[in-house]
Amino acid sequence: MIKRVLATITSSREIALDTIEMNLAIPEFASFSPIAPGQFVHIQIGSGVAHQLRRPISIADVDYEKQQITIIFKVIGTGTEELRKYRVQDQLDLLVPCGNGYPIEKIDSKKALLIGGGIGVPPLYYLAKKLVDKGVEVTSILGFQTKDHVFYEQAFQALGDCHVVTNDGSYGYQGFVTNVIETVQPTFDTFFSCGPTSMLKAVTNSLVDREGYISLEERMGCGVGACYACVIPSPNEKGFKKICQDGPVFLASEVSL
Amino acid sequence: MSQLAIELPGLMLKNPIMPASGCFGFGQEYSKFYDLSQLGAIIIKAATEQARFGNPTPRVAETTAGMLNAIGLQNPGVEKIITEELPRLANYNVPVIANVAGSTIEEYEAVTEALSKSNDIAAIELNISCPNVKQGGVQFGTDPALAAEVTRRVKAMSNVPVYVKLSPNVTNIVMIAKAVEDAGADGLTMINTLTGMQINLNTRRPVLANTIGGLSGPAIKPLAIRMIYQVRQEVSIPIIGMGGISTAEDVLEFLLAGASAVAIGTANFLNPFVCPEVITALPHVLEKYGFASVADAIGKGHEDAKLHLSRT
């Protein structure tokens, strides 16, 4: 169940160019557990007067002992610019946890391929940890714009093979995540991907007959399924899915990108 | 009558607060946050004759103290709304107002006829002002003769009171208000969103896939207040006011301008609890500004006005 809470920022640091990692202490933490990888928080910016819409940010990690979650966001507009100014001990008004995550309990996987692009990488980190906990072997392919945008490479390496690709070739492979899939030819039974829609399209096209899950991003309104702002066409009877409520994680075959 | 209660055609409201159409779906999502029976009423998402998918995404964009939306009347069609959504809402002790949309007068009639067979709605909000569909909607709301015609035809079909939702995208809203009052409207809801647009500096393209959308939120509140104030002076039927309300103080301002009840829209997205919070705060705000009740405050912003004030 989604709740509205005031979380306290316990750390904030720039981990790559315009990319901020924050740890947030969550009150009444036990009532949210367990949080599934792929779920997100919907964050109010300031008093909410200037910024009428919350910002949906993926949960990048959960620390059940410290009762904290980690979020990673990229500064791309006025809302995230405001969000980066928050300091340790400041409070953030959150709706948490939103959406449905990767259904890892139901998935029978031995070898997983994780494919992340840019700010789609963070939710895959918590996913990778959960998969490794389950005994799943994890290979990660992480795409970034340039060397300056790269983050969490070592963190993913600690969990399995990790290949980094930059669009301009300034770090790791040059090109796109799909180029790396072709080059490396990783063995896997299930893929998990999160990133911009153009990347997800390329990934699902190149892995069209493989079982996989994708996590979508879209401009959201309410974040709880009421406003119909973030819909995606689907071959189901209704003809669509709501990204915030039915997703943001979907079986790749469930939605039409 | 209690301090917050107000009676309008077809509507016995325990308080004057209701979520606005399109900002609350059919209530199910927000029923997980609080008991919907707390609300004065619920205006559900627009119904068209057939299911509509709506516009491509992105459908929303934030603006300073506001937002643009171009959802495009996505809904499952009036029959599904009657069979699947209305029965769920009947579990709550709250009047439901159905928002009726269409591309042609015949579609408005068909939706109204279907809804009239349901016992689960207390009133209709006639949506002649949606700016986000290519055909119909807003054009009915910007031409007094068309607005009157669709009001007359829907009134003839409806067995519940009809509130006509007015578009602010007109030169003279009083003229439209008078036209629909003369055509038999039982009340007005105002204002719908203002058409607006935002361009992304990097891509040099409109942010919304639909190019233009409807502006809502606190940014439009002064416009809503002005229009309700003007219409209140010329028209007798009750007004349900809306446009950027997020606090009990905002509600009082709408009452003073001449609204008899209000709807809260965009603010639900920021704070899912905004409606019950405003209901809780309203008695204190009424008392603070010297009013014994909601009824006592309606139209009180007109007392020093030189123009004649119609009865409320």
Using a CB-CB distance cutoff of 8 angstroms, which residues of chain A are in contact with residue B130? Answer: none
pLDDT in single tens digits along all 312 residues of chain B: 489 999 999 999 999 999 999 999 999 999 999 999 999 999 999 999 999 999 999 999 999 999 999 999 999 999 999 999 999 999 999 999 999 999 899 999 999 999 999 999 999 999 997 666 555 556 788 999 999 999 999 999 999 999 999 999 999 999 999 999 999 999 999 999 999 999 999 999 999 999 999 999 999 999 999 999 999 999 999 999 999 999 999 999 999 999 999 999 999 999 999 999 999 999 999 999 999 999 999 999 998 665 554 444
Residue range(s) of every CATH 2.40.30.10 domain in chain A: 3-98
Would an 8 Å CB–CB cutoff place A64 in contact with chain B? no
What is the tens place of the pLDDT at every residue in A216-232?
989 999 999 999 999 99
Using a CB-CB distance cutoff of 8 angstroms, which residues of chain A are in contact with residue B218? Answer: 49, 52
Predicted pLDDT of residue B311: 45
**Span A3-98: which CATH code?**
2.40.30.10
Is residue B23 part of the annotated active site? The answer reads no
Residue pair A216/A255 in contact (Cβ under 8 Å)? The answer is yes
Going by DSSP bridges, is the β-strand pair A19-25/B261-264 parallel, antiparallel, or unpaired?
Answer: unpaired
Nearest beta carbon to residue B54 from set A54, A226, A228: A228
Nearest beta carbon to residue B71 from set A48, A78, A228: A228
What contacts A108, CB < 8 A, 6 or more positions away? none
What is the tens place of the pLDDT at every residue in A84-133?
999 999 999 999 999 999 998 888 899 999 999 999 999 999 999 999 99
Q: Which of A65, A2, A38 is nearest to A126 (CA)?
A: A38
- What long-range pairs does A84-88 form, CB within 8 A, spacing at least 24? A84/A12, A84/A20, A86/A9, A86/A12, A86/A22, A87/A9, A87/A12, A88/A9, A88/A10, A88/A11, A88/A12
Interface test with B, best of A31, A47, A52 (most B CBs within 10 A): A52
Q: Which of B115, B94, B108, B125 is nearest to B239 (CA)?
A: B125
CA distances from A99 to A41, A103, A118, B229 (A): 9, 12, 21, 42
* DSSP state, residue B307: S
DSSP bridge pairs for B75: B52
Give residue B3's Cα distance to chain centre.
23
Higher pLDDT, B305 or A195: A195
Would an 8 Å CB–CB cutoff place A201 in contact with chain B? no
Residue list, annotated binding site of A for FAD? 55-58, 79-80
Higher pLDDT, B292 or A238: B292
Predicted pLDDT of residue B307: 53
- Cβ contact (<8 Å) for A227 and B25? yes
Predicted pLDDT of residue B312: 43
Residue range(s) of every CATH 3.40.50.80 domain in chain A: 104-217
- Amino acid identity of residue A8, one-letter, is T
Residue pair B138/B131 in contact (Cβ under 8 Å)? The answer is yes
Q: What is the ipTM of this complex?
A: 0.92
Question: A104-217: which CATH number, 3.40.50.80, 3.40.190.10, 3.40.50.11260, 3.20.20.70?
Answer: 3.40.50.80
CA distances from B200 to A73, B209, B210 (A): 20, 12, 14
- Cβ contact (<8 Å) for A229 and B59? yes
Would an 8 Å CB–CB cutoff place B184 in contact with chain A? no
